[in-house]
Amino acid sequence: MHYLEPLFNPESVAIVGASHHEGKIGHTVVKNILESGYKGRIYPINPKGGEILGLKVYKSIFEIDDEIDVAIIVVPAKVAVEIIDDVAKKAKFIIVITSGFSEVGNIEGEKKIVETAKKYGSRVLGPNVFGIYSAKPPINATFGPSKIKAGNVAVVSQSGALGIAMIGKAAEENMGLSAIVSIGNKADLTEVEILSYLFEDEITKVVFLYIEGLENGRDFLDIIRKRPPGKSIIVLKAGRSKAGARAVASHTGSLAGSDAIFDAAFRQVGILRAESLEDGLNWVTTVALSPPPKGKNVVIVTNGGGLGVIAADACEKYGLHLLDDMEVLKKTFQDVMPEFGSYKNPVDITGQAGGKEYKVALERAFKEKSIHAILALYCDRGDAEIEEIKNALVEVHKKYRNKPALYTIFGGEGATSIITALKKEGLPAFSDVEDAVSSLYALYKVNERKDEGKMEEVKMDEDKIKQVIEKALKEKRRKLLSNEAKEILKAAGVDVPEFYVAKNIEEAIEAANKIGYPIVMKVISEDIIHKTDVGGVVLNIENEKEAAEAYEAIIESCKRNVPKARIRGVEVTKMLPKGVETIVGSTTDPSFGKVVMFGLGGIYVEVMKDVTFRVAPLPKKEIRRMIREIESYPILAGVRGEKGKDIEAIVDTIYRIGLLVTKFEEIMELDINPLIVYEKGAKVADARMSIKVRK
Ligand code: ACO
């Protein structure tokens, strides 16, 4: 049994602050519990005693001679803090409906509630929640609408008002709920634990989660990864806007708006993210009502050619596959349409076909094994067939139910009445064909299991990495010098071309001769960020003479332009030949921790921000997907007769970076910019790294 079972299926509930006055929240909660048909024991608590809705009222929680699974607190915040010790002594779970805690800056009050509960081993839902509904007992311990239809959709909402509104919307859509949980300030129980229960709950088929942020992103991803087959989740995460200005030292950091990371993390584990409430509701309803598709072949059956074309376009946009086996289509549909109809998918039985023909066509689609999903479109002809068509659709759908079938009814009042009737009968029905197609796409997506691949062992010189980091930490330097960053990358097994640090002309020449011309020289200084701008970089050095001149020029120019800069020397390295410039980076996200980034360099990253993220570390299989995600991917894959670049070398680099930043948590930000990719191999041309300085 899951440890949250008593919260969702309590044998006894106490309402602390149960009110004698109709309309007060403490009264509505008692009323809703009673009206929901709850069979367990109900204990209203109020110092005034008496009776509420025919129930004996207890003056104190200690008067109750029973164990209490759930106590619901509906007294003002100040009182809640005063009584929490008593409640926590008695109740396993405490739902704090009361507002006025951390959301308004009352951090202390909230802390007191959670810590007291913890002392007695109880758990807290809230504060600042509307309560909980659970279909199992059933119990409606909310102050929202009293009537909730039981079903297989669980709604978990960070926003209370939105959650309450969802109860109403679910009723309108005829969507049955298995649970509705408000998580409010998430002071103790968060969406992670709630989801772990709901994924085990036998009634729940799909969870609709509304969140604004996540504190424990990694636990969240793990719960999603571990969910059993047949359990789906659709997330509506608000706050697509960019994260506020953050003090970031790297390119990766500045590109990593928190929403981009959420998007990437969701993609990584295969979470379907809804763009809007409307999409979310359509998708959840469809998933709740439909069996999973057994294959990719979709068929569109329509009585209106135009609607069929719109649907076909939408299918292409969402990547749905229309059955194109002409033999099957002909055999299945040809004899149910007039000569001028078309059995090619979209199957257009034409406006001439009446309810009877439509019914037969639909029935054929259900019966044909190589059809896996049906988009049934009907243009309301404004004639007397409304009843007939309505009955036909419901009858055929209920008779088969063996594959997903989504209905779009387009037209005026008649269409609306058909849609309402279909929804009432539990058929996924829409007025807009795009909604139907996007919902079918959602159904396919939620049923896909994502295989991220397996991690592999790679060798790293961990002692060397530690040594470089320790040195910087000792000197309280947040930014590593470029040669230190390169040393770490090299020790991590990334391909860093040979480089030396020269402290004088002789050393510079010796290094250049060792490496072989052409070479590059760059100033090494923690105080100089834009090296080229201050004359700190010389490219294409061809011989000893040029090497000596370059060394002198760099030192002189940097001293002149940035007189206070600490100059540690000059880095001497091979001038790399031209290749495709990419950027590989890592940053530390407040919700998900270490993440990696990949994109093409130059204008692709600067102007188009064509980059992609993942939570680190991640297996190579997922890295390959990540790389293919960027829009400029064809440049790497090879365009216009050019040979493709060594994508596996990029994969290996990102893989090692993912491991490096997870093993060495001190590395807060990292940029390899550029990583130059060739037909064979990928080499680090420049790197930056910053670490977390110990206090
Ligand atoms: N033990 C038990 N009951 C007590 C105690 C006590 N120690 N002290 C007082 N009470 C009783 C009161 O006598 C009263 O009962 P009565 O009406 O019979 O006299 C009852 O508890 C409630 O106390 P009130 O002082 O009347 O409080 P009120 O009902 O006005 O407000 C509430 C309490 C609803 C918890 C309020 O403080 C609050 O937080 N409201 C916001 C709730 C909310 O919106 N939550 C978020 C939901 S999500 C969303 O956004 C929709």
Alpha carbon of 187 to ligand 1 centroid (Å): 19
Contacts of 375 (CB under 8 A, 6+ apart): 298, 299, 300, 301, 311, 315, 405, 406, 408, 433, 436, 437, 440
> How many angstroms separate the CA atoms of 335 and 623, rounded?
50
The 3-state DSSP class for residue 393 equals helix
pLDDT of residue 256: 57
Return the HEC string of 276-320.
CHHHHHHHHHHHHHCCCCCCCEEEEEECCHHHHHHHHHHHHHHCC
16 alpha carbon to ligand 1 midpoint, in Å?
A: 9
Ligand 1 center from residue 147 Cα (angstroms) = 22
Q: Which of 15, 19, 63 to mutate to test the pocket of ligand 1 (most atoms within 8 A of CB)?
A: 19
**What pLDDT is stored for residue 351 in this prediction?**
83
Facing residues of 73 across strands? 16, 96
The two three-digit tokens of residue 149, written as one number: 């239809």
What pLDDT, on the 0 to 100 scale, is given for residue 380? Answer: 83
243, 239, 241, 33: which is closest to 144 by C-alpha?
A: 33
Q: What percentage of the chain exceeds 70 in pLDDT?
A: 97
Distance 185 CA to ligand 1 centre (A): 18
**C-alpha of residue 508 to centroid of ligand 1, in Å:** 77
Q: Can you give the pLDDT at residue 255?
A: 57
What's 293-446's CATH class? alpha beta
**Ligand 1 proximity of 165 Cβ (cutoff 6 Å):** no
Ligand 1 pocket member 481 (CB < 6 A)? no
Q: Where in the chain is the domain with CATH 3.40.50.261?
A: 293-446
pLDDT tens-digit profile of 646-685? 999 999 999 999 999 999 999 999 999 999 999 999 999 9
- Prediction pTM value: 0.91
Q: How many CA atoms lie within 13 A of 208 on its CB side?
A: 32
CB-count burial class (<10 Å; 0-12, 13-18, 19+) for 432 = middle
- In the chain, which segments carry CATH 3.30.1490.20? 498-575
Atom 12, ligand 1: which residue's CA is nearest? 17
C-beta of residue 72 within 8 angstroms of C-beta of residue 13: yes
Distance 29 CA to ligand 1 centre (A): 11
Atom of ligand 1 nearest to the CA of 100: 39
Quick check: 596 and 631 in contact, CB under 8 A? no
Residue among 21, 58, 75, 98 to mutate when testing ligand 1 (max atoms within 8 A of CB): 75
* Residue 215 alpha carbon to ligand 1 centre in Å: 29
pLDDT reported for residue 247:
43
498-575, CATH topology level? Dna Ligase; domain 1 (3.30.1490)
Q: Could you tell me where the DSSP H helices lie in 91-182?
A: 107-119, 160-172
Ligand 1 binding pocket includes 109 (Cβ within 6 Å): no
Q: How does pLDDT run across 2-51, given as a tens digit for each residue?
A: 999 999 999 999 999 999 999 999 999 999 999 999 999 999 999 999 99
Closest ligand 1 atom to Cα of 130? 47
Contacts of 49 (CB under 8 A, 6+ apart): 57, 58, 59
Rg (alpha carbons) of the chain, rounded to whole number: 32
| Token pair belonging to 260 | 């981009």
Q: What token pair was written down for 13?
A: 């509930």
Please list the ranges in the chain whose pLDDT falls under 70.
240-257, 383-384
- Grouping H, G, I as helix, E, B as strand and the rest as coil, residue 451 is coil
CB 182 within 8 A of CB 130: yes
Mutate to test the pocket of ligand 1, among 74, 96, 142 (most ligand atoms within 8 A of CB): 74
CA 115 to ligand 1 centroid distance, Å: 22
CA distances from 62 to 43, 47, 58, 68 (A): 11, 12, 9, 11
**Single-letter amino acid, residue 560:** R
